[in-house]
Each structure stands twice: as structure tokens, then as C-alpha cells.
Amino acid sequence: MNKLKTYAPLIILFLLAVAGASYAQQTTKIAIINSQKAFETCVEGKKILGQMQDRGNKIKADIQKLDDGIRLLENKLSTGRLTMTNEALMGIQADIEKKTTERKRYEEDAARDADQFSANLVQKIRLEMVTIIENLAKERGLELVLDAIQSGVVTFSPTVDITDEVIRRYDQSKAATPPVKK
């Protein structure tokens, strides 16, 4: 009986050590995705980036036209100072202020619309990619998938990077679905 009391704590310690060692040997399967690369490289992301660039170019052209109109009025004001009446000069000055306000509002509205447009499309792609990432994680038995851009990952092995596979599957899913008619 005394032997049992002497050996019982040792047996419990041994069992705890064995259980701890086997627990420590279990590995967590982790993967990394570069969400920015996935967005910029997939076919849909490239389309959206092109649309955003086209919108930006249109906005710049529209602002340039407004600036040209303002410059014309300013030139008319400066060349006509000596020959125009005060009422005509004040009218041109009012037109300049009106056009300047119009330009500022257009620029602010266009920037807000462009931000909303891009945020909606990026969110749509992100949600579609999450489904693909979840399915890939289930297939591979991954317990954790980190975003290299947003999670602050400092370094990782390229063997855990699933970005290219997600892009491939996302592009395949988009090629399989018929385009939505507008």
C-alpha cells in the first residue's frame, strides 16, 4: 500500500508527460493568402481595376473641361476690365464663383461615387473568394488561413501560400457562370 502511495504521483506525472508530449506533437495546419495579389490578379479583379481607371480618366477629363471653362471666364474678366461696365464685370465674377463651386462639388461627388463603386465591387469579390477559401481549407484540412496583407504576417514558407490556387479556382468559378445581362 505504501508503495502505491509512493508510485502514484510518479505514475500520474508520467501519464501527464506522455499526454502533453502527444498534444504538443499535434500540428496545426496553416495557410497564407495574399488578398491583394488575389484581387489584382484574378480576371474579375483586373476588370474592376480597368473600370476604376476608366472612371478616373472620365472624372479627370470632366474636371479639365470645368477648369477650362473657369479659365476662359478669368481671361474674359482680365481682358475686359478696362472696357466692361461694373455690372458686366460682377456678372463674370459671379459666373466664375458659380463654376468654381460646381467644379468642387463635382469633384467631391465623383470621388465619393468612385469610392462607393470600388468598395462595393471589391467587397463582392472578397465574399466570393471567402467561399472558395473556406472550401479549399476544408479540402486540405486547414485549421487557419491568414491574410498576408491584413494580418501582419512577417514571413512564411511559400509551401503554405494558397493564393495562386484561390485565384485559379475563382477564375474557374467565374468562367463557369454565365454573365449577368444588364
Spell out the domain ranges in the chain. 27-176
When mean pLDDT is compared across 22-26, 61-65, 107-111, the lowest value belongs to 22-26
Predicted confidence (pLDDT) per residue in 163-175, tens digit: 888 899 999 988 8
171 CB burial (10 A radius; 0-12, 13-18, 19+): middle
Q: Which three cell numbers, joined as nine digits, stand for 47?
A: 476588370
Give 13's pLDDT tier (boundaries 50, 70, 90).
low
How many CA within 13 A on the CB side of residue 123?
6
Please determine, for residue 44, whether its predicted confidence score (pLDDT) is greater than 70.
Answer: yes
pTM of the model: 0.66
At residue 2, does pLDDT exceed 90? no
Residue bearing cell 491583394: 36
Q: Give the residue-averaged pLDDT of 4-28.
A: 55
What is the per-residue pLDDT across 110-131, written as a single tens digit (0 to 9) for each?
A: 999 999 988 898 888 888 988 9
